[in-house]
Structure 1
Amino acid sequence: MKHFMLFIREDLDALKNMTEEEMQEDINTMIQWVEALSRSGNYVSGDPLEPEIRVARKEGILTDGPFIETKEALSGYLIIQAENIEQAAQIAQACPLIGRNVKSLEIRPIQKF
């Protein structure tokens, strides 16, 4: 089995307009999906990310821009294991939040040294 990182990208506009109840419902839905991944043996690890950001560049560390205006943000990650990238993509496609606030799950193989 190979490890893959899933980058969770969410719709910022949709998140801003969510009620606390809707946010908690999405959190519970994601927890249930991750628990199912764990039971299937595919889940390795993962966490949500806080919204604070710094960008390190040659000319220095940016704290508040200039960032490209974006409608989506990286809000978390999962590390899963699968036989190949096709299976990892099928696992990612099963995320129940895709099409709601999750715009996409980017799947990247983790290279072992």
Structure 2
Amino acid sequence: MKTETTTGEYMLLFRGPHWDRGLSQQELQAAMDKVMAWFEGLNQRGKTKAAHPLGAQGRIISGTNGQLVVDGPFAESKEAVGGYLMLQADNLNEAVEIARSMPTLKYGISVEVRPILAECPIFQRHPDLVQRARERAVQADQIWIAAAA
């Protein structure tokens, strides 16, 4: 059985989208200055791949055939993901150290660090099934193209 192979990229998920509540304008400005300097420092070192805030509204799809669609996640929850940052790092320890340096941690935000894998672990466990599925997908695509012509 293969082990998980990382890409050298890590996803930082920022939880606690309301860290600014209760701060004075001066405190908020100081925090923003620190966050911008932190992010710019990562950019200059070539560590950032992508970063974006996430909208408060969304849907959660689950169940067989995705028949269950509910509102969520709930933005008021302190566990709601408020944004993400994709990092280039040498290893998980470096990614964790970068996350630990996030200035808004002191205001109650939390950061989850996850490696981005080169391949889905389920695909690694069942390579023969994946190969057959790929072959069938190519055949289906060829049939569709022929039918559309």
Q: TM-score, normalised by structure 1?
A: 0.77
- C-alpha distance in structure 1 between counterparts of 2:59 and 2:28, whole Å: 25
Is residue 100 of structure 1 aligned with residue 107 of structure 2? yes
The runs of 5 or more residues in structure 2 that have no matched partner are 1-6, 120-149
Question: Could you say what the CA RMSD is over the residues aligned between the two structures, in angstroms?
Answer: 2.7
Q: Give the letter for the 2:84 counterpart.
A: Y
Structure showing greater relative contact order (alpha-carbon pairs closer than 8 Å, 6 or more residues apart): 1
- C-alpha distance in structure 2 between counterparts of 1:41 and 1:4, whole Å: 13
SS in 2 for 1:31: helix
2:14 to 8, 13, 21: 8
Q: Does the C-alpha gap of structure 1 residues 20 and 47 become closer, same or farther in structure 2, counting only changes over 3 Å?
A: farther
- C-alpha distance in structure 2 between counterparts of 1:61 and 1:19, whole Å: 39
Count of paired positions: 109
1:35 to 35, 40, 47: 40
> 1:11 Cα shift?
5.7
Q: Does the C-alpha gap of structure 1 residues 85 and 47 become closer, same or farther in structure 2, counting only changes over 3 Å?
A: same
Q: TM-score, normalised by structure 2?
A: 0.60
Q: Determine which structure has the larger helix proportion and give its number.
A: 2
The runs of 5 or more residues in structure 1 that have no matched partner are none
Q: Determine which structure has the larger strand proportion and give its number.
A: 1
